[in-house]
Each structure stands twice: as structure tokens, then as C-alpha cells.
Chain A
Amino acid sequence: MFVKVVVVFAVLLTGCAYMTWLERKVVARIQSRLGPMNAGYHGLLQPVADLIKLLFKDDISPKHVDKFIYAIAPLAAFIPATLSIAVVPFGDSITLFGRQIDLVISNLNIGILYVLGVTSLGVYAVVLAGWSSNSKYSLLGGLRSTAQMISYEIGMGLAIVVVVLLSGSLNLVDIVNSQSSVLDWYVFKNPAAFLIYFVCAVAETNRSPFDLPEAESELVAGYHTEYSSMKFGMYFVGEYANMITVGAIAATLFFGGWQGPLLPPIVWFMLKVAAFMIFYIWTRGTLPRFRYDQLMNFGWKYLLPIAVINVLVTAFFKL
């Protein structure tokens, strides 16, 4: 159990680090640039260099901040982001040294509820950071993100409800097992649910085109304007960990999790998550940022009704 946690944590953090590299590379290619090239082969050591840089930066905390909350807010960003990976199954059980090991940290019977609960905790990090920084930019960023995350969580929940309806289980392991062939993948059974989930996931993780909380053209850096050094690093890692988690859950819910032919389950799982990540970055390189009123309009007037209708229709056919 302990070993599993350590391994998954290490893989997740490495994934986060290389996610930054991948993002810089892919966005650079979209803009006909090369991206990082100097640290290591094609900039492969760039994440390490960035980490060292962040660790040795001066940790400035402004005079006017609310010290305690200011200090714990980055943790609130980082911890929930890493927690929700615990229920995601990344493979079937394997036998190692004569012991059978299930490739999931915790086979929780209400896995999805746990994921929804833990990911929504991430809002606190943003709100607390915005509030405790005592800065206009941070506050505005925090407020925006609260509104955004809460509105889009509803659509995400409804998209997940469709999967729950189809599979008849809240347990992620059962959901994966119910999509054993490609045609059983819920993305093909209900593409609308996947689209809604994806849009909401992008909004949930504050990624472009929904990166209003940190819209640099208006709010400097949004909620983490006043943060520096490793505190900022925590937000950074938290954001990427969130993306990976959301990608992992998307792969689990809609793309059959670790199931796939020929290659070992873990490889399939990672490939699916990586594809999702690349699509995330591709979206960032393609779509411009929403305006705040457009964001709210879209969330409440289009996404939510469509999600509700989708749930109703699915439930009707399920009866």
C-alpha cells in the first residue's frame, strides 16, 4: 500500500514536471517556434532547471498579506490535486513477488463522489489566496475562479451522472470493467457527456480558454500574483496535477481506463492520459480566452441545460 502511494505520487509529480515541458514544446510548435532546446536533449532537463530555479528564488511575502492563510493556501492547491488520483485504477491486478497487487491505491465504492468532493476543494486554494493576498488582482482572480469553478462543477457532475447511469456503479474499477471493448467506451455511447465533461474539466482546472482567474492581460497573474518561489511552485504543480487527474478520470470514465489490446494496461492508461493532456495543450494553443460574461452565459444557459437534457434522455433509454 505504502509503496504504491509513493510510486504513484512520484509518477504524478514527474508527470507534472514533464507536463510543463510538453506544454511549452507543443505550444511552441503551434506557434512555429522550437520551445526549450538548451537544457538537455531538446530541453528535456528544463523541468529540473525550473524546479531548482523555483526552490532557490527569494520567497517574498508582502507586508499586507494575512500571513497564516497566505502560507497554507498553496498547500490547499497542491494536496487536493494529488489526492484524487488515489481512486483512479491504472491497471488490472498484477502478481509481484508472489503477492497479488491491485493497481489502484484505494478501491473505493463511491470513487466518483470522492473525486468530485476532493477536486472541488481546490476552489478553496484559489479563494483563500485571492482573499489573503490583499491585492486587487488576486481578489478579482479569486472571485472569478470561485464563480467559474462552482458553475462548471454542476455541468461536470451531470456529465458524470450519465456515466454512472450507464454503468450502474459509482466505483471507478467497476466503471472500467464495464467498458471492456472499444464499442463499450462511454465516449461512443454518449459523446455529448464527454464533450460536456471535457469543457467543464478545462474550466475546472482554470486552463485556457477558461483561464480567467489568471488572465494575465487583465489581472497580472490572478490569484497567485503575490506568490513567489516555491509557494508559486505549489500552485503551478497543483494546476498540472489537477490536469493530470482530470485527464486520468476522463480516460477512466469515457475511454475505458487501462483497457486496450496488446500493450500492458499501465501503458494504455498512460497513453490515454497523455493524449488527453496533448489535447488540453492543443486547446490552449487554439482558442482565445472567454470574456467573463460569456463564460457565465455559456455555463448556465447552454452547458447546464444540455447536460440536464442529456441526463434525462440517458435515463429514459436506460429505463
Chain B
Amino acid sequence: MFAALKRVFVSIPIGFFTTLKNAIRKPVSFQYPKQKVPMYPRYRGLHFLERYEDGTERCVCCGLCAAACPADAIYMEPEESDKGERRAKIYEINLLRCIFCGFCEEACPEEAIFLGKEYEISDDDRDKFVYTKDYLLVKWPREKPSPVKFIRRNRRQYMK
């Protein structure tokens, strides 16, 4: 009898108070397509190929990223540019194979390939998941400042 009374007059009001407390708290959910959650500094999303400050590609098509890739997702073929420099003629990443481990970024001696923050890469056609150089190379002139410095700083911080 006492337990029942305690339930009615103590436990249930406590429950009501708890829900009230939650109701006046700020909601934790995001309105996703309109409002995006900021990604953490080490988040690994869609790859991009970086350029030098004068706009030439950093990638020299050495093949180390393809060698480091555990999923064998990278394919490349080299060519020679007008200035006689080596660069990639074909550079493809199969995103259906890619596991976003970031080994390509670590292997790259030229600091050319990075994993960015972009994660909205779903599509309805399997063929569209092979991203070519046109997609991957950053637009020139740049739309956003280069993240290289930021990534280097993060590397120093985390990769010890």
C-alpha cells in the first residue's frame, strides 16, 4: 500500500518533471539537409587533388597512393605536360571500393591527395562512383582556401 502511494505521489511526479526538463532543453537533433553537422577535424570524406599556389597540379602520378591503397581503389596513368613535367593523364578513384582509410593521403610524397569533408556522395548509378580527375582536382581559381596548412597542423597533433 505504502509502495503504491509512493509510486503515485513521488515516482510519477519525478517522471513528469524529468520529461518537462527535457522539453524545455534545446533539441539535440539537426534539420539535416538545411543544417549540417560540422565535421570533426580528422573526418575523412571525399578525396580531392590539391594544386600549387600557381595552379599547377601537385600530383606527379608516382603511384604510391595506388600502392598504399588497401582496397585497390585508385587507378592512374601518367603523361607529360607542356612544360615537360610529369602528371596524371587518368586519375580515377572507385568510391565503391574506397574504404576512406586515408592511406593515400599518408603515402603521398607531394601532398597532393587529401580526404576532404564532403560526405554527400550517394548516387543512383554505380558507374557514377568512379570519380575522375575532373571531379577530384580542386577548381581553379580556388573557391575555398587551401586546407593543406590545416591538415598539416592536425597531422602534427595527432600522428605522433
On A, residues with C-beta under 8 Å from B are 26, 28-34, 37, 282-283, 285-287, 302
Interface residues on B, range: 10 to 19
| A-B contacts, CB under 8 A, total | 37
One of B13-21, B44-52, B68-76, B114-122 contacting the partner: B13-21
Given known pairs A32-B27, A34-B27, the reply for A287 and B22 (CB within 8 Å) is: no
A210 to B130, CA, bound (A): 55
Which residues of chain A are near B27, meaning CB under 8 Å? 28-29, 32-34
On B, residues with C-beta under 8 Å from A are 4, 12, 15-16, 18-20, 22-25, 27-29, 31
Which residues of chain B are near A282, meaning CB under 8 Å? 16, 19-20, 23
Which residues of chain B are near A302, meaning CB under 8 Å? 4
- Majority SS of interface residues in chain A? helix
Contact A30 B19 (CB under 8 A): yes
Contact B29 A29 (CB under 8 A): no
Contact A286 B29 (CB under 8 A): no
Which residues of chain A are near B25, meaning CB under 8 Å? 32
B19 partner, pick from A33, A34, A37, A285, beta carbons under 8 A:
A285
A302 to B3, CA, bound (A): 13
CB-CB nearest in chain A for B29? A33
Q: Give chain A nearest CB distance to B59 CB in angstroms.
A: 42
CB-CB nearest in chain A for B25? A32
A20 to B159, CA, bound (A): 52
CB-CB nearest in chain A for B33? A38
CB-CB nearest in chain B for A195? B8
A312 to B28, CA, bound (A): 50
A283 to B19, CA, bound (A): 9
A141 to B104, CA, bound (A): 59
CB-CB nearest in chain A for B16? A286
A34 partner, pick from B4, B16, B29, beta carbons under 8 A:
B29
Which residues of chain B are near A31, meaning CB under 8 Å? 22
A64 to B50, CA, bound (A): 66
A29 to B28, CA, bound (A): 10
Given known pairs A286-B15, A287-B15, A302-B4, the reply for A29 and B31 (CB within 8 Å) is: no
Given known pairs A37-B31, A302-B4, the reply for A287 and B12 (CB within 8 Å) is: yes
Contact B31 A286 (CB under 8 A): no
CB-CB nearest in chain B for A26? B23
Q: Give chain A nearest CB distance to B74 CB in angstroms.
A: 40
Q: Give chain A nearest CB distance to B80 CB in angstroms.
A: 53
Ranked nearest first, the 7 interchain pairs of A and B with the lowest CB-CB distance are A29-B23, A286-B19, A30-B19, A32-B28, A33-B29, A34-B27, A30-B23
User: Can you report 30 residue pairs joining A to B where beta carbons are below 8 Å apart?
Assistant: A26-B23, A28-B27, A29-B22, A29-B23, A29-B24, A29-B27, A30-B22, A30-B23, A31-B22, A32-B27, A32-B28, A32-B29, A33-B27, A33-B28, A33-B29, A34-B27, A34-B29, A34-B31, A37-B31, A282-B16, A282-B23, A285-B19, A285-B23, A286-B12, A286-B15, A286-B16, A286-B18, A287-B12, A287-B15, A302-B4
